[in-house]
Structure 1
Amino acid sequence: MDPSLMEWVKIMVPDMYLYFAIINTIEGRLRSENTHALPPSVQRRVKSLKYFQSKHAELEAKFQEEVLGLEKKYLDLYRPLYIKRREVITGQYEPTDEEVSIGEKVDAEEEIAHIKADEKKDEDDNTKSIRGIPEFWLTAMKNNPQVAENVTPEDENLLKHLVDIRMSYTDKPGFRIEFEFADNEYFTDKVLTKAYYYQDHVYGGEFIYDHAEGCDIHWKDGKDLTVTMKTKKQRHRGTNKVRTVKQTVPAETFFTFFQPPTLPAEDVELDEEEAERLDAKLEADYEMGEEFKEKIIPRATDYFTGKALEYEDYAEDEEFEDDFYSDEEQEEEDDDDDEEDEADESMQPSKRENAPECKQS
């Protein structure tokens, strides 16, 4: 309870003050991990609860192990489908008429006439020379808002070379995401990896995130997207001569995804603001990995077509929209406020002149 409010209650309503004081004492005990102030018989019961909680934690750990085993089992069952998907995307496999027909029936909203028109156009303009499905993974990533906001136009030129995105489970609890690329002008790597690891213990039926490990990218000369070159002029104090200095600075790019934020050494202390920034970075990095693991990889086709967005919570909230004004609406409201102020002024017997202006930054 607010101390100033407590002081007011103490003066004005003594009995109520006593009530709030008791409540605050109880709340303080409940929030505190120190149970020594409790009566011995109650302490004994609390210790028994800790025993039951420990047994519950053991069951949670077994539950999570079984869930992880089930996820691994079904990933093995999914894998042949993912392999086929990759072969279609890269043009290594041409779907059969039966597979295409079943695929049409899966999407009840598909317009058959439109499909046939596209097929006819395909034959007429000789686009059968197109191999696979160009820019499949780039399109899927751009249709995921959380990932898309980290993709720059220059990134797109490189991500067009994405051949496949897949995942696997690590020996230690965790998962690894692999990005396979075709030959490109940016780097020599064929596969870029990012692994996320969990802590050894389980809490609340869930693994607790521990850290992530990226990989080194072997950029070709002048093609590193993670840095940019900036030039600045320096003037010599004595001779007054000017020289141009070039320096590399970090650049905004999706590929910093492979350079995850890390915790400082144990002997390094961060102030509150730095700690909050680091926590935000760690959380955002993990959430990005989850987007690939839980959404983009298993539902890549839906993200490519945009259908996945129908099931995401990305629609603008009406109440949220009401909190914002267009410029015209704001001007109208300001005019109304001015009229009301003028009416109020006419009703006031006196008013300070030259009042300070309220400026909004």
Structure 2
Amino acid sequence: MHKRLILSLITKKKNSLFHYSFNTPNFQLLPKIVKRRVYALKRLQLQSANIEAKFYEEVHELERKYAGLYQPIFDKRRDIVAGAIEPTDEECEWQSDREEEELAEDLQKKAALEEKQADSAGADDPKGVPEFWLTIFKRVDMLAEMLQEHDEPILKHLQDITVKFSEPGQPMSFTLEFHFEQNSHFSNTVLTKVYKMKSEPDAEDPFSFEGPEIIDCEGCKIDWQKGKDVTVRIVKKKQKHKGRGTVRTVTKEVPQDSFFNFFSPVKGKRKCDLDLTLATDFEIGHFFRERVIPRAVLYFTGEALEDDESYNSKLLCVIQDLDEEGEEEDEGEFDPTVSI
């Protein structure tokens, strides 16, 4: 996702700079014979867009194929996290001497003290890796922004997050599955979010095609136990009867922020709000699919956060460089092109 995103941003920015280059001829003023040839070039461009669409369809099929190869690894990760299996001594071997040498002396002492305290406090031998996914949610800024305090007790029961791709011959889509152990909050064992996509140029604007785009997403119904729905809160309000003067207390459910709103449908909104919601939703879905799920343990330890920070810094530098290039190009007069 990161490579695609950065290439997309660079391409869009450079296209914008090119669009406003100096002395660009007005297309409508070109000789008829030249315009005729340009139309032929546009037909070639459309053929190129259709081939690109097929390329992304094959990429999707390749992702689906390799998802099956990754799954046994992810299944074993799930079992270790949940405490269903105990890894062997050989499986637990990890060369960390170099990491310890790189720590400052004061950090080594602090780490040794914390390890000693953890060992004494954990005499009851905790099961698996406690709060594995909740820790990831707290560490990652994008997810932490969605997380509310009342969500945390529920996410302690989250055992795994998986992704499933659409079957061959089916419309392009992927589904995020959040697997929960039995809990007192809802009866679902799996909560799902489906992302539907298309990879074909738009009939009305084919040259805007830049790869698969989201066309819809669907959450799922959460079967909350009575009084346990964290997506709403109960508000009590006193009402006075106009005629009799009696007072009664009315209770009403009002929406409140919660990570579990992520599973609510996005339909029924104005188009502009819907587009924004879909874009945000898709960004989160892609982050789960391409970063969090394949690299969960590195987000748990915090190592992946350093990679994300490095990536974000590089991306920011690229965008800033392009902005500076744009400012240089903008100095002087220019004639914007007429869209062809």
Say whether the fold is shared (TM-score over 0.5): yes
1: CA distance between counterparts of 2:250 and 2:61?
A: 56
Is the CA contact 2:56–2:199 (under 8 Å) kept in the aligned structure 1? no
Q: Counterparts in 2 of 1:34-53, with a 5 A limit?
A: 39-53=31-45
Residue 291 of structure 1: how far off its partner (Å): 1.6
Alignment match, 1:14: none
Contact 1:192 1:215 (8 Å CA) reproduced:
yes
Q: Which amino acid aligns with 1:238?
A: G
Contact map agreement 2:185 2:228 (CA 8 A) in 1: yes
Offset of 1:205 from its aligned partner? 4.9
Shift in CA distance, 106/169, structure 1 to aligned 2, threshold 3 Å = farther
Q: CA distance change for structure 1 residues 103 and 276 in 2, over 3 Å: closer, same or farther? A: farther
User: Structure 2: which amino acid aligns with 1:155?
Assistant: D
Q: Which has the higher contact order (CA 8 A, sep 6+)?
A: 2
* Equivalent position of 2:290 in the other structure: 294
Mapped partners of 1:106, 1:54: distance in 2: 54
Residue identity in the other structure for 1:237: K
Are positions 1:210 and 2:202 aligned together?
no
Quote the residue 1:260 is aligned against.
265
Question: Given the superposition, is the C-alpha separation of residues 177 and 110 from structure 1 closer, same or farther in structure 2, using an over 3 Å criterion?
Answer: farther
Shift of 1:103: 5.9
1:227 and 1:249 in contact (8 A); partners too: yes
Aligned length, in residue pairs: 279
Q: Which of the two has higher C-alpha Rg? A: 1
Q: Separation in 2 of the partners of 1:122 and 1:232?
A: 48
Tell me which of 123, 134, 142 is aligned to 1:146: 142
Q: Given the superposition, is the C-alpha separation of residues 189 and 105 from structure 1 closer, same or farther in structure 2, using an over 3 Å criterion?
A: farther
Cα RMSD, aligned residues only = 3.3
- 1:219 counterpart residue number: 224
- Aligned match of 2:72: 80
Contact persistence 1:175–1:197 (CA under 8 A): yes
User: What is aligned with 2:85?
Assistant: 93
Equivalent residue of 2:93, what SS? helix
Q: In the TM superposition, what is the alpha-carbon distance from 1:180 to its structure 2 partner? A: 0.3
- Is the 8 Å Cα contact of residues 141 and 296 (structure 1) preserved in structure 2? no
Is 1:311 matched up with 2:316? no
What secondary structure does 1:129 align onto?
coil
CA gap of 1:183–1:280, structure 2 versus 1, over 3 A, is same
Deviations 1:183-230 (A, max 9, x none): 111000100000101025156451011110111111111111121111
Secondary structure of the equivalent of 1:243?
strand
Instruction: Give secondary structure in 1 for the equivalent of 2:274.
Output: helix
Aligned to 1:235: 240
User: Structure 2: which 5+ residue stretches go unaligned?
Assistant: 1-19, 202-207, 314-340
2:82–2:128: 8 Å Cα contact kept in structure 1?
Answer: yes
Given the alignment, which residue of 152, 157, 162 partners 1:161?
157
Using the TM superposition, name which of 43-52 and 182-191 deviates more.
43-52
Tell me if the contact between 1:196 and 1:212 (Cα under 8 Å) persists in the aligned partners.
yes
- CA–CA separation in structure 1 for the residues paired with 2:282 and 2:220: 16
